[in-house]
Structure 1
Amino acid sequence: MAQRQEELLRAAVEQIEVRGVAAVRIADVASALGVSNALVLYHFSSKEKLVAAAFAYAAEGDLAHLRKILGRRTSAVRRLRTAVRWYAPTGQAKGWRLWIEGWAAALREPALREVSRDFDRRWKAELTAVMAEGAAAGEFHCADPSSAAWRLTALLDGLGVQMTSYAGSLGRATMLVWAEEALARELGLDREALTGQSA
Protein backbone atom coordinates (compact mmCIF):
# COMPACT_ATOMS: atom_id res chain seq x y z
CA MET A 1 0.00 0.00 0.00
CA ALA A 2 2.83 2.43 0.86
CA GLN A 3 4.47 1.73 -2.48
CA ARG A 4 1.21 2.39 -4.35
CA GLN A 5 0.71 5.67 -2.47
CA GLU A 6 4.24 6.76 -3.36
CA GLU A 7 3.59 5.97 -7.03
CA LEU A 8 0.42 8.05 -6.90
CA LEU A 9 2.20 10.95 -5.22
CA ARG A 10 5.05 10.89 -7.77
CA ALA A 11 2.50 10.87 -10.59
CA ALA A 12 0.56 13.72 -8.96
CA VAL A 13 3.74 15.82 -8.67
CA GLU A 14 4.51 15.21 -12.36
CA GLN A 15 0.97 16.10 -13.41
CA ILE A 16 0.97 19.28 -11.31
CA GLU A 17 4.27 20.33 -12.92
CA VAL A 18 2.78 19.80 -16.38
CA ARG A 19 -0.81 21.01 -15.88
CA GLY A 20 -0.78 23.21 -12.81
CA VAL A 21 -2.75 22.81 -9.60
CA ALA A 22 -5.99 24.31 -10.93
CA ALA A 23 -6.10 22.16 -14.07
CA VAL A 24 -4.87 18.84 -12.75
CA ARG A 25 -7.59 16.19 -12.25
CA ILE A 26 -7.78 12.89 -10.44
CA ALA A 27 -8.25 11.36 -13.90
CA ASP A 28 -4.88 12.77 -15.05
CA VAL A 29 -3.05 11.07 -12.19
CA ALA A 30 -4.93 7.81 -12.71
CA SER A 31 -4.28 7.86 -16.45
CA ALA A 32 -0.56 8.48 -15.97
CA LEU A 33 -0.33 5.22 -14.01
CA GLY A 34 -2.95 3.27 -15.95
CA VAL A 35 -5.16 2.86 -12.90
CA SER A 36 -8.76 3.79 -12.13
CA ASN A 37 -9.96 7.07 -10.63
CA ALA A 38 -11.46 4.98 -7.84
CA LEU A 39 -8.03 3.71 -6.82
CA VAL A 40 -6.68 7.26 -6.53
CA LEU A 41 -9.74 8.26 -4.49
CA TYR A 42 -9.33 5.20 -2.28
CA HIS A 43 -5.92 6.51 -1.17
CA PHE A 44 -6.77 10.23 -1.29
CA SER A 45 -10.44 11.02 -0.85
CA SER A 46 -10.37 14.29 -2.81
CA LYS A 47 -8.26 16.24 -5.26
CA GLU A 48 -7.41 18.74 -2.50
CA LYS A 49 -6.04 15.97 -0.27
CA LEU A 50 -4.08 14.46 -3.16
CA VAL A 51 -2.54 17.82 -4.06
CA ALA A 52 -1.60 18.61 -0.44
CA ALA A 53 -0.08 15.14 -0.04
CA ALA A 54 1.83 15.52 -3.32
CA PHE A 55 3.35 18.80 -2.16
CA ALA A 56 4.23 17.29 1.22
CA TYR A 57 5.91 14.38 -0.60
CA ALA A 58 7.92 16.77 -2.80
CA ALA A 59 8.84 18.89 0.22
CA GLU A 60 10.14 15.90 2.17
CA GLY A 61 12.32 14.93 -0.80
CA ASP A 62 13.76 18.45 -1.04
CA LEU A 63 14.35 18.63 2.71
CA ALA A 64 16.09 15.25 2.70
CA HIS A 65 18.43 16.48 -0.01
CA LEU A 66 19.12 19.73 1.85
CA ARG A 67 19.88 17.79 5.05
CA LYS A 68 22.27 15.56 3.11
CA ILE A 69 24.16 18.64 1.88
CA LEU A 70 24.15 20.38 5.26
CA GLY A 71 25.14 17.20 7.10
CA ARG A 72 28.44 16.75 5.26
CA ARG A 73 31.68 16.70 7.24
CA THR A 74 33.12 19.97 5.99
CA SER A 75 33.05 23.62 6.96
CA ALA A 76 29.76 25.42 7.45
CA VAL A 77 30.75 27.88 4.72
CA ARG A 78 31.21 25.08 2.19
CA ARG A 79 27.94 23.42 3.18
CA LEU A 80 26.02 26.68 2.93
CA ARG A 81 27.55 27.56 -0.44
CA THR A 82 26.73 24.11 -1.79
CA ALA A 83 23.16 24.39 -0.49
CA VAL A 84 22.69 27.81 -2.08
CA ARG A 85 24.09 26.65 -5.43
CA TRP A 86 21.76 23.62 -5.35
CA TYR A 87 18.68 25.61 -4.30
CA ALA A 88 19.31 28.56 -6.59
CA PRO A 89 17.04 28.35 -9.63
CA THR A 90 18.50 27.40 -12.99
CA GLY A 91 15.49 28.43 -15.04
CA GLN A 92 14.92 24.79 -16.03
CA ALA A 93 14.36 23.14 -12.68
CA LYS A 94 10.98 21.45 -12.49
CA GLY A 95 10.92 21.95 -8.74
CA TRP A 96 10.55 25.71 -9.13
CA ARG A 97 7.46 25.35 -11.32
CA LEU A 98 5.98 23.04 -8.72
CA TRP A 99 6.62 25.41 -5.81
CA ILE A 100 5.37 28.49 -7.65
CA GLU A 101 2.17 26.56 -8.39
CA GLY A 102 1.97 25.57 -4.73
CA TRP A 103 2.46 29.08 -3.39
CA ALA A 104 -0.27 30.41 -5.67
CA ALA A 105 -2.72 27.62 -4.80
CA ALA A 106 -1.95 27.99 -1.08
CA LEU A 107 -3.67 31.37 -1.14
CA ARG A 108 -6.98 29.52 -1.53
CA GLU A 109 -6.31 26.04 -0.13
CA PRO A 110 -5.84 25.83 3.67
CA ALA A 111 -4.35 22.30 3.59
CA LEU A 112 -1.79 23.30 0.99
CA ARG A 113 -1.03 26.51 2.90
CA GLU A 114 -0.15 24.44 5.97
CA VAL A 115 2.12 22.14 3.96
CA SER A 116 3.85 25.11 2.36
CA ARG A 117 4.25 26.98 5.64
CA ASP A 118 5.66 23.91 7.41
CA PHE A 119 8.12 23.24 4.57
CA ASP A 120 9.25 26.88 4.60
CA ARG A 121 9.71 26.88 8.38
CA ARG A 122 11.72 23.66 8.35
CA TRP A 123 13.87 24.81 5.42
CA LYS A 124 14.80 28.04 7.20
CA ALA A 125 15.48 26.13 10.42
CA GLU A 126 18.03 23.90 8.64
CA LEU A 127 19.89 26.91 7.22
CA THR A 128 19.67 28.75 10.55
CA ALA A 129 21.26 25.84 12.40
CA VAL A 130 24.28 25.68 10.08
CA MET A 131 24.70 29.46 10.12
CA ALA A 132 24.65 29.39 13.93
CA GLU A 133 27.13 26.50 13.96
CA GLY A 134 29.55 28.30 11.65
CA ALA A 135 29.30 31.54 13.60
CA ALA A 136 29.93 29.72 16.89
CA ALA A 137 32.99 28.03 15.38
CA GLY A 138 34.37 31.40 14.29
CA GLU A 139 34.17 30.65 10.55
CA PHE A 140 32.24 33.85 9.92
CA HIS A 141 30.23 36.51 11.72
CA CYS A 142 26.45 36.16 11.68
CA ALA A 143 24.78 37.86 14.64
CA ASP A 144 21.25 36.70 13.77
CA PRO A 145 21.25 33.41 11.83
CA SER A 146 17.44 33.19 11.75
CA SER A 147 17.04 36.60 10.10
CA ALA A 148 19.91 35.79 7.73
CA ALA A 149 18.17 32.56 6.64
CA TRP A 150 14.93 34.49 6.04
CA ARG A 151 16.63 37.14 3.90
CA LEU A 152 18.63 34.60 1.92
CA THR A 153 15.67 32.33 1.14
CA ALA A 154 13.52 35.36 0.24
CA LEU A 155 16.08 36.38 -2.37
CA LEU A 156 16.42 32.84 -3.75
CA ASP A 157 12.65 32.38 -3.90
CA GLY A 158 12.30 35.71 -5.72
CA LEU A 159 14.98 34.75 -8.22
CA GLY A 160 13.22 31.41 -8.69
CA VAL A 161 9.96 33.15 -9.56
CA GLN A 162 11.71 35.53 -11.98
CA MET A 163 13.70 32.84 -13.78
CA THR A 164 10.83 30.39 -13.99
CA SER A 165 8.07 32.84 -14.92
CA TYR A 166 10.17 35.01 -17.22
CA ALA A 167 12.61 32.62 -18.86
CA GLY A 168 15.61 34.36 -20.34
CA SER A 169 15.22 37.54 -18.29
CA LEU A 170 18.22 36.68 -16.14
CA GLY A 171 21.23 34.55 -16.99
CA ARG A 172 22.19 31.63 -14.78
CA ALA A 173 25.68 33.03 -14.20
CA THR A 174 24.33 36.39 -13.03
CA MET A 175 21.80 34.72 -10.75
CA LEU A 176 24.51 32.58 -9.15
CA VAL A 177 26.73 35.61 -8.59
CA TRP A 178 23.85 37.44 -6.87
CA ALA A 179 23.03 34.41 -4.73
CA GLU A 180 26.64 33.98 -3.63
CA GLU A 181 27.01 37.70 -2.96
CA ALA A 182 23.92 37.55 -0.75
CA LEU A 183 25.26 34.53 1.15
CA ALA A 184 28.64 36.21 1.61
CA ARG A 185 26.97 39.36 2.99
CA GLU A 186 24.90 37.33 5.45
CA LEU A 187 28.07 35.60 6.67
CA GLY A 188 30.11 38.79 6.92
CA LEU A 189 32.52 37.57 4.22
CA ASP A 190 33.56 38.97 0.88
CA ARG A 191 32.56 36.91 -2.14
CA GLU A 192 36.16 35.99 -2.92
CA ALA A 193 36.50 34.37 0.50
CA LEU A 194 33.25 32.51 -0.07
CA THR A 195 34.06 31.29 -3.56
CA GLY A 196 37.52 30.25 -2.43
CA GLN A 197 35.73 27.43 -0.62
CA SER A 198 35.18 24.44 -2.91
CA ALA A 199 31.49 23.66 -3.33
Structure 2
Amino acid sequence: MTGVRLSVAERRAELLAATVEQIEARGVTAVRIADVAASLGVSNALVLYHFSSKERLVAAAFEHAAQADLARLRGILTRRTSALRRLRAAVRWYAPTGQAKGWRLWIEGWSAALREPALRAVTRDLDQQWKAALAEVIEQGTATGEFRCADPKGAALRLTALLDGLAVQMTAYDGAVSRARTRAWADAALARELGLSEDDLRAA
Protein backbone atom coordinates (compact mmCIF):
# COMPACT_ATOMS: atom_id res chain seq x y z
CA MET A 1 0.00 0.00 0.00
CA THR A 2 3.00 2.28 0.07
CA GLY A 3 2.35 3.43 -3.52
CA VAL A 4 -1.20 4.56 -2.79
CA ARG A 5 -1.75 8.13 -1.63
CA LEU A 6 -4.44 8.28 1.01
CA SER A 7 -6.02 11.25 2.70
CA VAL A 8 -5.24 11.77 6.37
CA ALA A 9 -8.65 10.38 7.35
CA GLU A 10 -8.26 7.35 5.10
CA ARG A 11 -4.77 6.62 6.40
CA ARG A 12 -5.88 6.90 10.01
CA ALA A 13 -8.82 4.57 9.36
CA GLU A 14 -6.48 2.08 7.70
CA LEU A 15 -4.07 2.20 10.64
CA LEU A 16 -6.87 1.79 13.17
CA ALA A 17 -8.39 -1.19 11.36
CA ALA A 18 -4.96 -2.83 11.19
CA THR A 19 -4.42 -2.18 14.88
CA VAL A 20 -7.73 -3.83 15.77
CA GLU A 21 -6.68 -6.90 13.77
CA GLN A 22 -3.31 -7.02 15.53
CA ILE A 23 -4.92 -6.67 18.97
CA GLU A 24 -7.30 -9.53 18.18
CA ALA A 25 -4.39 -11.68 17.03
CA ARG A 26 -1.76 -10.78 19.66
CA GLY A 27 -3.50 -9.09 22.58
CA VAL A 28 -3.12 -5.50 23.76
CA THR A 29 0.07 -5.99 25.76
CA ALA A 30 1.91 -7.89 23.02
CA VAL A 31 0.98 -5.75 20.02
CA ARG A 32 3.68 -3.33 18.82
CA ILE A 33 3.81 -0.31 16.55
CA ALA A 34 6.09 -2.40 14.34
CA ASP A 35 3.40 -5.09 13.97
CA VAL A 36 0.86 -2.58 12.75
CA ALA A 37 3.32 -0.96 10.38
CA ALA A 38 4.49 -4.29 8.96
CA SER A 39 0.94 -5.48 8.34
CA LEU A 40 0.41 -2.49 6.03
CA GLY A 41 3.89 -2.27 4.57
CA VAL A 42 4.51 1.20 6.02
CA SER A 43 7.13 2.61 8.37
CA ASN A 44 6.93 2.86 12.15
CA ALA A 45 7.43 6.59 11.70
CA LEU A 46 4.24 6.87 9.66
CA VAL A 47 2.23 5.21 12.42
CA LEU A 48 3.77 7.49 15.02
CA TYR A 49 3.11 10.54 12.84
CA HIS A 50 -0.63 9.86 13.12
CA PHE A 51 -0.60 8.44 16.67
CA SER A 52 2.21 9.68 18.87
CA SER A 53 2.40 6.55 21.05
CA LYS A 54 1.22 2.97 21.24
CA GLU A 55 -1.17 3.95 24.06
CA ARG A 56 -2.87 6.58 21.90
CA LEU A 57 -3.02 4.20 18.94
CA VAL A 58 -4.63 1.43 20.98
CA ALA A 59 -7.16 3.78 22.58
CA ALA A 60 -8.13 5.20 19.19
CA ALA A 61 -8.41 1.68 17.74
CA PHE A 62 -10.90 0.64 20.42
CA GLU A 63 -12.95 3.75 19.79
CA HIS A 64 -12.85 3.06 16.05
CA ALA A 65 -13.99 -0.54 16.59
CA ALA A 66 -16.94 0.55 18.73
CA GLN A 67 -18.29 3.33 16.53
CA ALA A 68 -19.76 1.01 13.90
CA ASP A 69 -21.51 -1.00 16.60
CA LEU A 70 -22.78 2.16 18.28
CA ALA A 71 -24.19 3.33 14.95
CA ARG A 72 -25.87 -0.06 14.50
CA LEU A 73 -27.31 0.09 18.02
CA ARG A 74 -28.74 3.55 17.41
CA GLY A 75 -30.20 2.30 14.14
CA ILE A 76 -32.02 -0.48 16.00
CA LEU A 77 -33.21 1.86 18.76
CA THR A 78 -34.61 4.47 16.36
CA ARG A 79 -36.68 2.10 14.22
CA ARG A 80 -40.31 3.05 13.64
CA THR A 81 -41.75 0.42 15.95
CA SER A 82 -42.61 -0.03 19.61
CA ALA A 83 -40.06 0.66 22.34
CA LEU A 84 -40.39 -2.95 23.48
CA ARG A 85 -39.55 -4.36 20.06
CA ARG A 86 -36.59 -2.01 19.76
CA LEU A 87 -35.25 -2.94 23.19
CA ARG A 88 -35.60 -6.67 22.61
CA ALA A 89 -33.84 -6.39 19.25
CA ALA A 90 -31.05 -4.32 20.81
CA VAL A 91 -30.52 -6.72 23.73
CA ARG A 92 -30.54 -9.72 21.38
CA TRP A 93 -27.99 -8.01 19.15
CA TYR A 94 -25.75 -6.80 22.00
CA ALA A 95 -25.78 -10.17 23.79
CA PRO A 96 -22.77 -12.47 23.30
CA THR A 97 -24.98 -14.68 21.11
CA GLY A 98 -25.67 -11.75 18.76
CA GLN A 99 -23.60 -9.82 16.23
CA ALA A 100 -22.28 -6.94 18.32
CA LYS A 101 -18.62 -6.15 18.90
CA GLY A 102 -15.95 -8.85 19.04
CA TRP A 103 -16.04 -9.84 22.68
CA ARG A 104 -12.43 -11.03 22.75
CA LEU A 105 -11.36 -7.55 21.72
CA TRP A 106 -13.37 -5.91 24.48
CA ILE A 107 -12.26 -8.27 27.20
CA GLU A 108 -8.70 -7.41 26.17
CA GLY A 109 -9.61 -3.73 26.34
CA TRP A 110 -11.17 -3.93 29.79
CA SER A 111 -8.09 -5.68 31.13
CA ALA A 112 -5.64 -3.22 29.58
CA ALA A 113 -7.74 -0.25 30.71
CA LEU A 114 -6.85 -1.06 34.32
CA ARG A 115 -3.30 0.08 33.53
CA GLU A 116 -3.75 2.50 30.62
CA PRO A 117 -5.45 5.84 31.49
CA ALA A 118 -6.06 6.79 27.83
CA LEU A 119 -7.76 3.48 27.09
CA ARG A 120 -9.71 3.63 30.36
CA ALA A 121 -11.14 7.03 29.38
CA VAL A 122 -12.20 5.72 25.97
CA THR A 123 -13.80 2.52 27.24
CA ARG A 124 -15.64 4.40 29.99
CA ASP A 125 -17.07 6.89 27.49
CA LEU A 126 -18.16 4.14 25.09
CA ASP A 127 -19.74 2.17 27.93
CA GLN A 128 -21.70 5.26 29.01
CA GLN A 129 -22.94 5.76 25.44
CA TRP A 130 -24.26 2.17 25.29
CA LYS A 131 -26.11 2.56 28.57
CA ALA A 132 -27.50 6.01 27.73
CA ALA A 133 -28.92 4.76 24.43
CA LEU A 134 -30.75 1.89 26.14
CA ALA A 135 -31.95 4.06 29.02
CA GLU A 136 -33.44 6.59 26.60
CA VAL A 137 -35.66 3.99 24.94
CA ILE A 138 -36.66 2.53 28.31
CA GLU A 139 -37.72 6.04 29.33
CA GLN A 140 -39.75 6.38 26.12
CA GLY A 141 -41.56 3.09 26.64
CA THR A 142 -42.29 3.93 30.25
CA ALA A 143 -43.68 7.34 29.28
CA THR A 144 -46.07 5.80 26.73
CA GLY A 145 -47.19 3.07 29.13
CA GLU A 146 -45.79 0.14 27.15
CA PHE A 147 -44.12 -1.18 30.27
CA ARG A 148 -43.13 -0.11 33.78
CA CYS A 149 -39.65 0.86 34.87
CA ALA A 150 -38.98 3.21 37.78
CA ASP A 151 -35.24 3.44 37.11
CA PRO A 152 -34.35 3.37 33.37
CA LYS A 153 -30.67 4.19 33.94
CA GLY A 154 -30.34 1.47 36.56
CA ALA A 155 -32.12 -0.99 34.28
CA ALA A 156 -29.72 -0.22 31.43
CA LEU A 157 -26.73 -0.69 33.75
CA ARG A 158 -28.02 -4.01 35.09
CA LEU A 159 -28.82 -5.34 31.61
CA THR A 160 -25.45 -4.46 30.13
CA ALA A 161 -23.62 -5.74 33.22
CA LEU A 162 -25.38 -9.09 32.85
CA LEU A 163 -24.59 -9.33 29.14
CA ASP A 164 -20.97 -8.27 29.65
CA GLY A 165 -20.56 -10.91 32.35
CA LEU A 166 -22.10 -13.62 30.18
CA ALA A 167 -19.77 -12.60 27.36
CA VAL A 168 -16.77 -13.15 29.64
CA GLN A 169 -18.08 -16.60 30.61
CA MET A 170 -18.72 -17.63 27.01
CA THR A 171 -15.42 -16.23 25.71
CA ALA A 172 -13.04 -17.25 28.48
CA TYR A 173 -14.57 -20.60 29.43
CA ASP A 174 -15.67 -22.66 26.46
CA GLY A 175 -18.92 -24.44 27.20
CA ALA A 176 -19.53 -22.66 30.52
CA VAL A 177 -22.86 -21.24 29.30
CA SER A 178 -24.80 -22.34 26.24
CA ARG A 179 -26.04 -19.90 23.62
CA ALA A 180 -29.64 -20.94 24.28
CA ARG A 181 -29.33 -20.37 28.03
CA THR A 182 -27.62 -17.03 27.50
CA ARG A 183 -30.42 -15.84 25.23
CA ALA A 184 -33.08 -17.08 27.66
CA TRP A 185 -31.42 -15.28 30.58
CA ALA A 186 -31.15 -12.07 28.55
CA ASP A 187 -34.85 -12.20 27.69
CA ALA A 188 -35.78 -12.96 31.30
CA ALA A 189 -33.70 -10.04 32.56
CA LEU A 190 -35.25 -7.64 30.06
CA ALA A 191 -38.77 -8.74 30.96
CA ARG A 192 -38.01 -8.36 34.67
CA GLU A 193 -36.57 -4.85 34.24
CA LEU A 194 -39.64 -3.75 32.27
CA GLY A 195 -42.21 -5.24 34.63
CA LEU A 196 -43.43 -7.69 31.99
CA SER A 197 -43.88 -11.43 31.77
CA GLU A 198 -41.72 -13.39 29.38
CA ASP A 199 -44.90 -14.20 27.43
CA ASP A 200 -45.43 -10.45 26.93
CA LEU A 201 -41.88 -10.17 25.68
CA ARG A 202 -42.27 -13.05 23.24
CA ALA A 203 -45.56 -11.63 21.96
CA ALA A 204 -43.70 -8.46 20.97
TM-score normalized with structure 1 length: 0.95
Q: Which amino acid aligns with 1:50?
A: L
Residues in 2 aligned to 1:147 and 1:80: alpha-carbon distance in whole angstroms:
15
* Residue among 67, 74, 97 paired with 1:67: 74
RCO comparison, higher one (Cα < 8 Å, 6+): 1
Give, in angstroms, the shift of residue 170 of structure 1. Answer: 1.1
The answer on whether the counterparts of 1:128 and 1:149 sit within 8 Å (CA) in structure 2 is yes
Range that drifts further, 7-16 or 57-66 = 57-66
Give, in angstroms, the shift of residue 59 of structure 1. Answer: 2.0
Give, in angstroms, the shift of residue 93 of structure 1. Answer: 7.1
Alignment partner, residue 106 of structure 2: 99
CA RMSD across the alignment = 1.4
Give, in angstroms, the shift of residue 32 of structure 1. Answer: 1.6
Structure 2 gap ranges (5+): 1-7
% identity of equivalent residues:
71
Q: Which amino acid aligns with 1:24?
A: V
Structure 1 gap ranges (5+): none
The answer on whether the counterparts of 2:135 and 2:153 sit within 8 Å (CA) in structure 1 is yes
Equivalenced residues, count: 197
Residues in 2 aligned to 1:17 and 1:81: alpha-carbon distance in whole angstroms:
29
**Quick check: 1:117 aligned with 2:124?**
yes
Q: Deviations over 1:78-108 (max 9, x none)?
A: 1111111111003997610111011000000
Residues in 2 aligned to 1:68 and 1:93: alpha-carbon distance in whole angstroms:
13
Alignment partner, residue 25 of structure 1: 32
Residues in 1 aligned to 2:98 and 2:87: alpha-carbon distance in whole angstroms:
21
Range that drifts further, 20-29 or 92-101 = 92-101
Give, in angstroms, the shift of residue 28 of structure 1. Answer: 1.2
The answer on whether the counterparts of 1:90 and 1:163 sit within 8 Å (CA) in structure 2 is no
Alignment partner, residue 79 of structure 1: 86
Structure 1 runs (4+) deviating above 2 angstroms are 90-94
